[in-house]
Amino acid sequence: MTGAGDHRPSPGRSDGALPSEPVSENGEAPPRRGRLGGGRFGSFGRRPALALALAVPLLLALALVMQFDARANEPKKYDAGEIFRRSAGAVFYIRALNEEGGLKATGTGFVVGKDGTAATAYHVVKGAARVEAVFYDGTKVQAKVAAYDEKADAAALVLPSRKGGYAALPVRETSAGFGEKVFAIGYPMKEEAIITEGIVNNPAAEVNGRDRMLFSAQVASGMSGGPVIDEQGRVAGIISGSFRTIAGIHLGVGAEEMGAVLRKAQKAAAN
């Protein structure tokens, strides 16, 4: 028993002192809560920063890999110089001769198959008794008309077989689109090839009841029958002529019509 004047401090406090820290059963003070410097919340605060630091380089690496894959899958495109270098060996000068051996017409043709399958504009070889093909390296061979479509102005030629075959141009399976860059190769001068550059103005404009490819690559007399080539080096059509009513716009036979004549020639050869 204490006296009336005695004062006994309440548990957990000392006279004039702040409340003491709670003590666990083993006598140690538990970690303080709610501070970033320690305990569970301190670890939690550090983990997101560490995860972010590790994730950023991985995400950047993944983005670079995806970008590289996308570029690798893009079709390769070539400029005019490279197109000419890759294509000139398959393009030839045509001399269409009459019965007496005189020159009837000149133009251009190109090989589309290593076996000697070739194409040109039909008006270049129409009515010719003999067709002579002169290649860029000076090689001369006789060509035969295997099939043609006069309305489309497309003809398929067959060149004599030779050891090792011929340099050939790949052909597009579908028509070129509006605005696609294209190149025209032909022989406006005897045994001298040139290349010009332009775009597809319309892949299938109706002209005199037929669909015609319109393009702006410059064309001169003697280039008829030559290839219209896209940036990937594929034949997009055959040079047919010039649009008389629109300056600077020229006519071409589209890849699909050209393909139909080539298939017609292959079928005839198989029979």
The pLDDT tens digits of the residues spanning 61-95 come to 776 766 655 455 678 999 999 999 999 999 999 99
Report pLDDT for 25: 55
Euclidean distance between CA atoms 237 and 218, whole angstroms: 15
Report pLDDT for 118: 98
Report pLDDT for 210: 85
Mean pLDDT, rounded, for 123-140: 96
Taking CB atoms within 8 Å and a gap of at least 24, the contacts of 262-270 are 262/112, 262/117, 262/119, 262/147, 262/156, 262/171, 264/147, 264/149, 264/156, 265/117, 265/146, 265/147, 265/156, 265/158, 266/117, 268/146, 268/147, 269/146, 269/158
